A and B are shown apart, each in its own frame.
Chain A
Amino acid sequence: MSITRATKKRVLGLGVLFVVLALLPTVVKSPYYMHLVIMTCDNIILGLSFSLLYSTGLLTMAAGAFWGIGAYTSALLVMKAGLSFWIALPLSGVCAALVGLGIGSIIARIPGIAFLIQTMIISLIIPEVVGYSDFLGSWGGLLGIPGPSSIGPLRFIGKTPYYYLIVVLLMLNVLAFVALYSSRVGRAWRSIRVNAQLAETLGINLHWYRLLAFIISSASAGLAGSFYAHYFQALEPGMFTAFKSINVQIFAILGGLNYYIVGPAVGAAIMTFVPELLRVGREIEPVITGAVLILLVIFLPGGVLSLRERLGSFSWRLAKRAGSDEVPAEPGLHTGD
């Protein structure tokens, strides 16, 4: 079995990415920028969980809600049950997955706008429930959540250990998702998205596969939430309202919906850094986010990453018009990552 050039290129790209990610804290000294990088990674995990559901043709507005469920589970397990963070982290993923199983088995039966509305209701109702519950800290939220306990020589002081923790989490997520996308399950998901009826006639159990996607996406959002709880060390219901879920949706649209892995990463990076660097006031921020969203949807529905193809086909057309012999290849349609 020979290694193709494309594989070589991909392995090389991954290697470069790993080195860059590993060396980043030695280059970026400012804690402020490290915070932004950490938040970007956390947001990328959420964007990935949105894209995972999109790959089966489901549009979720509940990513923020499951993020909140993971965060609260983890915080309560550590603060009230006295567990270690390293046990609470996987448990919060499991808990979010169980909630996803419960809700998903009811709502994942109808795709399309009904699913969107139902997830929207979830993301509107969960902050309300948390706000009215005294056990969950009410509207004031939970304060003083302890950071992860140290393992061996690694102690969680400063931003760098948190950075490595979230990068490891992100990489685990990416690897798991890539494995899923290239497996039988991922192919089934894509076939459901392209044509659900045809997929069903081929023996794919639509409900089961949609439910599986919902559970996996909930679990990974829960893991991201658990990390956030112990990184930020404070939680309040206002953090995971529908606004958070809308933002997650923007990550995926902005990056490009047809790129399941790279799309959310690009989108999350842009949406985390640009508003901060522009120093937009908190009051005016939703106006600008809304305007960006509208313009994006009208003029660039394929996302930032589709620019490459658009420019490619543009130069192809130019070359054709000029009658040049060296015509660049017409870019193909990318439906994978």
Chain B
Amino acid sequence: MTVELVVQLLVNGLSIGMIYVLVASGLILLLGVVRIFNFAHGEYYMLGAFVTYGMCQLLHVNFFLSIAIAMVAISVLGIFSYRLIFQHMRGDILLCTGASIGLSMMLQRGALLGFGTQQRGLHPPVSGSLAIGPVDLPSEKVVAIILCIAIMAGLYVLLMRTKVGKAMRAVKVDNEVASLQGINTNRIYLVVFTTGCALAAMAGGIIAPVFSVTPTMGNVILLKCLMVLMVGGMESMIGGVIGGVVVGLITSFGTFYLGALSEVLLFAVIGVILVFKPGGLFGEAH
């Protein structure tokens, strides 16, 4: 086990882990503020990857600009799906699960029928490798990590330093008291839902050059994000970040040393965490 290998596995794990963080933080925001759980979140990620692919590969738009276009497009889709579906069932887990699973099935099968099953690959925006000392790092993964960290920092500023973010946190604590203070809670719900969709779309866009783009890629990310929520807890963004990185690293190292059994390893780790901390590492057990 050489240093280079460990560093490469570490970068692999971090790059995929940061993608999980982006998608999972959207889910955590939704759970905390809007109090709904969206099983269709993985499909926004998948559609974000497709829009980025279409813009970048077919229309030859700049890669970073295509990600921005994907975020806008998926946000609009998110606004529609919130207004048409989720607005009616805020707070009811069962109904919301049912509706979001229905939406997920429709979007995924629609994408499968529309785009076909073939795998699509995007040329990386930056190719080649980055040499740090003796270690060669694939530069598209380093770019992905840097982008994700920047976005999470932006999200932190949004939540902690702006008025909207303050309103979001107030609604999270108590939505009735928040609306008594003059916060338009319905608008906050919509903003949070849209932010979650945009984060998922951005994650999809960032992952497009790293992995292949397929209509079923939403399933994989959803399963991983569920695991992130179990590891980190469902209450705090910190938990989401730590959980995402842990799951990414376990996936990366596990796949190298155990192959297909890494899923089982991840499952075992989650089992152990749940035995000792039933609400996840940063969650509370109710």
Chain A interfacial positions (CB closer than 8 Å to B) = 54, 59, 106-107, 109-110, 112-114, 116-118, 120-121, 124-125, 128-129, 132, 246, 249-250, 253, 257, 283-284, 286-287, 289-294, 296-298, 301
Query: For chain B, which range describes its interface: under 10, 10 to 19, 20 to 34, or 35 or more residues?
Result: 35 or more
Give min CB distance, B236 to chain A, whole Å. Answer: 14
- Alpha-carbon separation in the docked complex, A106 to B95 (Å): 25
Interface residues of B in 88-106 (CB under 8 A from A): 88-89, 92-95, 97-99, 101-106
Known pairs A109-B285, A290-B103, A294-B99; A121 contacts B267 (CB<8 A)? yes
- Report whether A110 and B226 are in contact in the complex, using a CB–CB cutoff of 8 Å: no
- A-B CB contact pairs (8 Å), 8 listed: A106-B271, A110-B279, A112-B93, A113-B37, A113-B93, A121-B226, A121-B270, A125-B263
- Report whether A116 and B97 are in contact in the complex, using a CB–CB cutoff of 8 Å: yes
Give min CB distance, A102 to chain B, whole Å. Answer: 10
Contact of B95 among A129, A284, A287, A297 (CB under 8 A): A297
- Report whether B278 and A110 are in contact in the complex, using a CB–CB cutoff of 8 Å: yes
- Report whether A298 and B230 are in contact in the complex, using a CB–CB cutoff of 8 Å: no
Centre residue among B37, B101, B223, B260 by max chain A CB count within 10 A? B101
- Alpha-carbon separation in the docked complex, A250 to B271 (Å): 28
Chain A residues lying within 8 Å of B113, measured Cβ to Cβ, are: 283-284, 287
- Alpha-carbon separation in the docked complex, A118 to B227 (Å): 8
- Report whether B234 and A114 are in contact in the complex, using a CB–CB cutoff of 8 Å: yes
**A128 to B, closest residue via Cβ:** B263
- Alpha-carbon separation in the docked complex, A59 to B95 (Å): 11
Chain B residues lying within 8 Å of A286, measured Cβ to Cβ, are: 105-106, 108-109
- Alpha-carbon separation in the docked complex, A294 to B271 (Å): 33
Chain B interfacial positions (CB closer than 8 Å to A) = 31, 37, 85, 88-89, 92-95, 97-99, 101-106, 108-110, 112-113, 223, 226-227, 229-230, 234, 260-261, 263-264, 267, 270-271, 274-275, 278-279, 285-286
- Alpha-carbon separation in the docked complex, A250 to B98 (Å): 8
- Report whether A289 and B105 are in contact in the complex, using a CB–CB cutoff of 8 Å: yes
- Report whether A297 and B230 are in contact in the complex, using a CB–CB cutoff of 8 Å: no
**B95 to A, closest residue via Cβ:** A297
- Alpha-carbon separation in the docked complex, A25 to B158 (Å): 66
- Report whether A117 and B93 are in contact in the complex, using a CB–CB cutoff of 8 Å: no
Known pairs A121-B227, A293-B99; A298 contacts B85 (CB<8 A)? yes
Chain A residues lying within 8 Å of B95, measured Cβ to Cβ, are: 297, 301
- Report whether A116 and B99 are in contact in the complex, using a CB–CB cutoff of 8 Å: no
Chain B residues lying within 8 Å of A301, measured Cβ to Cβ, are: 89, 92, 95
- Report whether B103 and A294 are in contact in the complex, using a CB–CB cutoff of 8 Å: yes
- Report whether A287 and B103 are in contact in the complex, using a CB–CB cutoff of 8 Å: no
- Alpha-carbon separation in the docked complex, A126 to B247 (Å): 19
**B272 to A, closest residue via Cβ:** A106
Contact of B93 among A59, A118, A290 (CB under 8 A): A59
- Report whether B260 and A118 are in contact in the complex, using a CB–CB cutoff of 8 Å: no
- Report whether B106 and A291 are in contact in the complex, using a CB–CB cutoff of 8 Å: yes
- Report whether B109 and A297 are in contact in the complex, using a CB–CB cutoff of 8 Å: no
- Alpha-carbon separation in the docked complex, A76 to B211 (Å): 38
Contact of A110 among B37, B101, B285 (CB under 8 A): B285
Centre residue among A117, A257, A283, A291 by max chain B CB count within 10 A? A117
